[in-house]
Amino acid sequence: MATHESTSLLLSRFDCVVSRAFKLEQFVKVIQKFDHVITRLSHLEMRLQSLHVCGGSTHIKNHDEADGATITSGASSTQNRLELELKNNKCSSFRFVRAPPDYYAQALEYRMRCVGASSVNHLCKSMIMENTRAHPSVDGWSNPLNSKYYVVIVQYTARLHTEKLKNFVYKLSEGKIGKQYFNMRLAPSDVSDTLSGFVHNAVTPIGMATPLPIILSHRIPALQPDFFFLGGGEVDLKLGLLASQFIKAYAPMIADCTYDNIAEGEE
């Protein structure tokens, strides 16, 4: 009888321990979810604070707000010109942000916070690339399938793979020109300035002085969200826009032109 009572008591205590353990497990899950929410809120607060510190604008213009010839009152003539072009090309969502003087002296995480990008992978740059071995028959940039110059847009976190780029441009000509006539290199700064109409760190495919064909890294349309940032025509002016709208408006050629492993790169 005593043994039976002891067994019952032990089973009762065991059930109690199991019940408490289950409740504790549920409590831990709730705490973890709560901690996740707090972490996300903290990150959001940090981004908002950094935008204020860096002088960034959180306003995204839509098409209805862009009805006038002068889009943003008090903005520079360059910004107004680019905004007007975006409007005319049916880009309904975009953001211009003024970066602080030390923008390029800081890490990508700082720059990301300054412009309000979703991640460092959303920070991109535009480069004027030159085919230094172009066939004598190539007439500047008149033929986008066989141009001497291209605007190539890649992420800062991805390194441009010049061999991939060369092969991509070579295939555009469908084998009509020998591969020996292709060698893609960064154009000299004076050539880049003249063709784009913008200086180093300000180059953008929007409102260029010369209508060069555009090559966009395949990684950029795959970004989630697809709102990416690049140069805005002035060294301290950055432009954010939707990759989907950019592709529709400017019809860039999409290419796998970077190394497979994401590695931080600097301009």
Is pLDDT larger for residue 210 or for residue 9?
A: 210
Could you report the per-residue pLDDT of 188-226, keeping only the tens digit for each?
A: 999 999 999 999 999 999 999 999 999 999 999 999 999
3-class SS at 130?
A: strand
d(C-alpha 252, C-alpha 245), whole Å = 11
d(C-alpha 121, C-alpha 221), whole Å = 12
Could you report the per-residue pLDDT of 21-53, keeping only the tens digit for each?
A: 666 677 666 566 655 555 455 444 444 444 444
229: phi then psi, degrees, rounded to nearest 5? -120, 145
- Label residue 91 by pLDDT band (50, 70, 90): very high
Long-range contacts of 260-263 (CB under 8 A, 24+ apart): 262/121, 262/155, 262/157, 262/158, 263/157, 263/158, 263/159
- For tokens 């979810």, what's the residue? 33
* Average pLDDT of the chain, as a whole number: 84
User: What pLDDT was estimated at residue 1?
Assistant: 55
Long-range contacts of 53-57 (CB under 8 A, 24+ apart): 54/99, 54/100, 54/103, 54/110, 54/113, 54/114, 54/115, 55/97, 55/98, 55/99, 55/100, 55/114, 56/97, 56/98, 56/99, 56/114, 56/115, 56/116, 57/95, 57/96, 57/97, 57/98
Residue % of the chain over a pLDDT of 70: 72
Q: How many residues does the chain have?
A: 267
